[in-house]
Amino acid sequence: MIPSSDYQSPSLSPISGRDCLTLAEFSPEEIKLILGEAAKLKALRRARVPFQPLRGRTLAMVFQKPSNRTRVSFEVGMYQLGGHALNIKPDEIQMGKRETPSDTGRVLARYIDAIMVRTFDHAELEELADAADVPVINGLSDTHHPCQALADLLTVQENFGTLEGVRIAFVGDGNNVAHSLAIGCALTGAQLTIAHPEGYAPDPEVVELAASLGAAPKLTNDPEEAVSDAQAVYTDVWASMGQESEAEERKQRFLPYQVNGKLMSLTADDAIFLHCLPAHRGEEVTPEVIDGPQSRVLDQAENRLHAQKALLYLLLS
């Protein structure tokens, strides 16, 4: 518990006014700062100590893709920090259809203090961010999911006291979640192995980017090799939003990559299980694992709130 009188907030945030489109925009020290602030804000929330540095500030939340956790965690986070969040639905904004992403960014920036965008095309997000002169946060794109990765790293750090050298295995599709996790691990010293079926490897450009930031993830097609002695095992749905037409084919391709009790038996004694949710029990993970004692998925979901609050606070300080 942190009494409010003892809480020392940064007088000048080194990331104030910047965007968060990927975690690669931050240095290892800045990632450490965000995670540290997230832990402090989580302790304040648990102690019910009010901390409202963003009074009078407004966040626009642009949803091209709907999401329960993203909307609730950002909206509640802004409220807890003393600010306000505005939800903009796809049929209201029609970004890229009724107006260009750059026009959307320029106009919204005249009204509000920050923009969160959850969309498909990462290039559209970059176009909007280039035009907007307020911080833009990637709530998810087809290529990156940095807010999820911050919550993932915070959860691992809570369980092991550090990220340096922690062995993490991601089992499944080399998608946006795996991409941001790879960048986050490279910046924090965690050791990541990604086990994926043939044809579903992470984007080589992201792997190369992770290597330039610290370390590339180890890639394998063998899930047993990936989880052997791992301290955290992470998986995601086999068919994400927008991939519904591939669902049946993916079920066949990904079946050997299901995280079940047998696979978890190969991990370290203190291993935890992670999933970004929503989960399909009986597909990518069995109920015994996701609902079992090693699961930290609810902590991980809660940490979206604390990690994003830290990000908002530091970007808007």
Closest C-alpha to 277, from 24, 73, 39, 61:
73
Residue 4 CA, distance from chain mean position: 28
Of the residues 113, 196, 236, 308, only one is catalytic, namely 236
Strands 58-63 and 114-118 turn out to be: parallel
Residue 191 DSSP SS3: strand
Q: Helices 68-80 and 297-316 meet at what angle, rounded to 10?
A: 50
- Which amino acid type is present at position 123? A
Task: Return the beta strands (E) in 119-183 as ranges.
Answer: 136-140, 167-171
Burial label for 10, CB within 10 Å (0-12, 13-18, 19+), is middle
**Cα angle for residues 246, 248, 252 (degrees, 5° grid):** 110
Does the annotation count 122 as an active-site position? no
Does the annotation count 294 as an active-site position? no
Of the residues 69, 276, 296, 308, only one is catalytic, namely 276
List CB contacts of 13: < 8 A, sequence separation 6 or more: 313, 314, 315, 317
Of the residues 45, 69, 118, 275, only one is catalytic, namely 118
Task: Give dist(CA 43, CA 46) in Å, integer.
Answer: 5
List CB contacts of 98: < 8 A, sequence separation 6 or more: none
**Tokens 């989960």 found at:** 279
Does the annotation count 276 as an active-site position? yes
List CB contacts of 39: < 8 A, sequence separation 6 or more: 154, 157, 158, 306
List CB contacts of 127: < 8 A, sequence separation 6 or more: 100, 101, 102, 105
Of the residues 45, 69, 145, 250, only one is catalytic, namely 145
Of the residues 148, 231, 300, 308, only one is catalytic, namely 148
Of the residues 69, 196, 304, 306, only one is catalytic, namely 304
**Tokens 């002695």 found at:** 229
DSSP state of 31: H
Does the annotation count 84 as an active-site position? no
Does the annotation count 148 as an active-site position? yes
Does the annotation count 304 as an active-site position? yes
Residues serving a catalytic function are 118, 145, 148, 236, 276, 304
